């Protein structure tokens, strides 16, 4: 389990709003005003993130392996690269807004060297990728019971990532055509070269991350190979020892047919037995069938266990999969929108109801302490994101007798010379949001 305190808020936006209202610091009409403020805020950020999603979808179309729409014109090489950059830029943006953490390359590489639940030898060729990104949320320990041999069980602690997101952009067809000439494993691919694959999973053991890659190559471990190989060799040796006399008879019979008398005389074998070919043929057939049957039996055992492993991997990935490709963006945008709104609501509420001046550090500690007291969670609240969002919300506070054209825009949040944070009252804050929302669709000539 990681010691990093995460910024993700594991409660619904509506729950956070209700907690603020139940806190008892808002009275009278402020309760209704606060609810209305939260509603308008949520609607505005839903609009903003919808715009982000549409931009990603437009650029992702040519990279989507599941796309069922056509483009009127193929993009140029420059346009292709620009669209790829825009997809990756949008991907990183929404994951950061969703409070996901980028997984280091060291952790991913470590998963290739160690095994957790599924005892497989795996290999992932990262040279197949043009781009690769992995993000996660929730690093926890899970106690499980595993069987050891047939009758014994033991407890294991598995490091689990509650959510995992992968983005993989494969290299183009030319690369894989060249690889197929040298390696037969590349002749049949379960992915489309040049496309961008996205995966969203839940509850994945950290040391089994390699199983999520579409280009994974699996094989039995050395331990399993020995378990099959050693008994096979041990059983084959006695068979060969019993078969050696019959093998000599076959060899001598061949030399007799070839009239190699000098060679036959050097081998001490009863010629009468050699001249009677029927026992020799029966012995040869018996030997072949015995060794062949044993080999088939061992191979069948090997393939049976390999299939069992593959089924275990398939079941794991099937039941833990949350979304693929384009649907991953939709799921993440929804999470990012929720996180952004929850953070802004918490910041606004605590500044609004505070009896003392708050700077950034004090506000951060105040919110984290409040979350611990109310919800029992330890977290690293992302204080700078919501403060920046509130500061960027600028609008005009217009009353009935005012001329809107003569009024200047003001920020919803500002700082004094000492670094303390100032927030507009609820009524004025609502007017700012109304103004921003009303002007969200301003076009020339309208």
Q: What is the mean pLDDT of residues 247-262?
A: 57
How does pLDDT run across 41-96, given as a tens digit for each residue? Answer: 999 999 999 999 999 999 999 999 999 988 888 999 999 999 999 999 999 999 99
pLDDT grade for 1, boundaries at 50, 70 and 90: low
Decide if 423 contacts 352 (C-beta within 8 A): yes
Cα–Cα dist 87/427, whole Å: 39
Q: Say whether pLDDT at 436 is over 50.
A: yes
pLDDT at 105: 82
pLDDT at 416: 96
Q: Say whether pLDDT at 106 is over 60.
A: yes
Identify the weakest region by mean pLDDT among 2-6, 64-68, 126-130, 188-192: 2-6
pLDDT at 101: 96
Residue of 34, 15, 32 lying closest to 353 (CA atoms): 34
Q: What is the mean pLDDT of residues 15-35?
A: 96
How does pLDDT run across 406-421, given as a tens digit for each residue? Answer: 789 999 999 999 999 9
155 or 392, greater pLDDT: 392
pLDDT at 417: 94
Q: What is the mean pLDDT of residues 361-368?
A: 97
Identify the weakest region by mean pLDDT among 14-23, 381-390, 432-441: 432-441
Identify the weakest region by mean pLDDT among 23-27, 204-208, 312-316: 312-316
Q: What is the mean pLDDT of residues 234-246?
A: 59
pLDDT at 404: 74
Mean of per-residue pLDDT scores for the chain: 84
Identify the weakest region by mean pLDDT among 104-108, 219-223, 240-244: 240-244
How does pLDDT run across 258-307, given as a tens digit for each residue? Answer: 555 555 555 555 555 545 555 655 655 665 666 666 667 767 766 776 67
pLDDT at 390: 97
pLDDT grade for 116, boundaries at 50, 70 and 90: low
Highest mean pLDDT pick, 143-157, 164-178, 212-226: 164-178
340 or 225, greater pLDDT: 340
pLDDT at 172: 95
How does pLDDT run across 158-200, given as a tens digit for each residue? Answer: 889 999 999 999 999 999 999 999 888 888 888 999 999 999 9
| Threshold 0.85, pTM exceeds | no
146 or 257, greater pLDDT: 146
pLDDT grade for 445, boundaries at 50, 70 and 90: very low
Q: Say whether pLDDT at 346 is over 70.
A: yes
């Amino acid at each position: 389990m990681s010691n990093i305190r995460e910024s993700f808020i594991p409660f619904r936006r509506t729950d956070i709003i209700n907690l603020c209202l139940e806190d008892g610091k808002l009275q009278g009409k402020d309760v209704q005003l606060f609810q209305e403020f939260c509603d308008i805020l949520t609607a505005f950020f839903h609009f903003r993130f919808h715009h982000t999603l549409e931009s990603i979808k437009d650029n992702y179309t040519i990279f989507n392996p599941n796309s069922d729409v056509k483009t009127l014109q193929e993009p140029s090489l420059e346009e292709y690269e620009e669209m790829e950059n825009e997809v990756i830029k949008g991907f990183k943006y929404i994951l950061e807004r969703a409070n996901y953490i980028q997984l280091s390359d060291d952790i991913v590489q470590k998963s290739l060297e160690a095994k957790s639940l599924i005892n497989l030898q795996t290999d992932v060729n990262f040279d197949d990728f043009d781009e690769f990104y992995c993000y996660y949320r929730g690093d926890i320990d899970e106690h499980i019971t595993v069987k050891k041999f047939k009758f014994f069980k033991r407890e294991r602690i598995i490091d689990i990532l509650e959510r995992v997101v992968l983005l993989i952009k494969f290299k183009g067809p030319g690369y894989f055509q060249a690889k197929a000439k040298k390696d037969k494993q590349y002749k049949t691919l379960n992915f489309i070269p040049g496309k961008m694959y996205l995966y969203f999973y839940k509850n994945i053991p950290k040391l089994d991350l390699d199983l999520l890659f579409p280009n994974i190559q699996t094989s039995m471990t050395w331990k399993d190979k020995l378990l099959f190989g050693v008994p096979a060799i041990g059983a084959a040796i006695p068979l060969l020892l019993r078969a050696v006399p019959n093998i000599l008879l076959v060899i001598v019979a061949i030399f007799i047919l070839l009239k190699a008398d000098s060679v036959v005389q050097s081998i001490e074998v009863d010629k009468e037995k050699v001249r009677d070919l029927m026992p020799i043929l029966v012995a040869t057939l018996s030997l072949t069938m015995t060794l062949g049957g044993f080999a088939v039996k061992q191979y069948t055992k090997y393939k049976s266990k390999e299939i069992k492993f593959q089924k275990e991997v398939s079941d794991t990935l099937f039941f833990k999969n949350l979304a693929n490709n384009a649907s991953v963006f939709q799921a993440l945008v929804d999470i990012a929108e929720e996180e952004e709104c929850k953070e802004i609501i918490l910041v606004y509420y605590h500044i609004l109801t505070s009896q003392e001046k708050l700077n950034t550090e004090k506000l951060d500690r105040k919110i984290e302490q409040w979350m611990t007291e109310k919800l029992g969670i330890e977290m690293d609240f992302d204080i700078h994101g919501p403060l920046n969002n509130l500061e960027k919300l600028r609008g005009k506070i217009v009353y009935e007798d005012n001329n809107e054209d003569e009024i200047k825009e003001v920020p919803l949040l500002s700082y004094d010379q000492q670094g303390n944070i100032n927030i507009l009252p609820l009524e004025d804050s609502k007017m700012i949001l109304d103004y921003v929302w009303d002007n969200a669709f301003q076009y020339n000539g309208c």
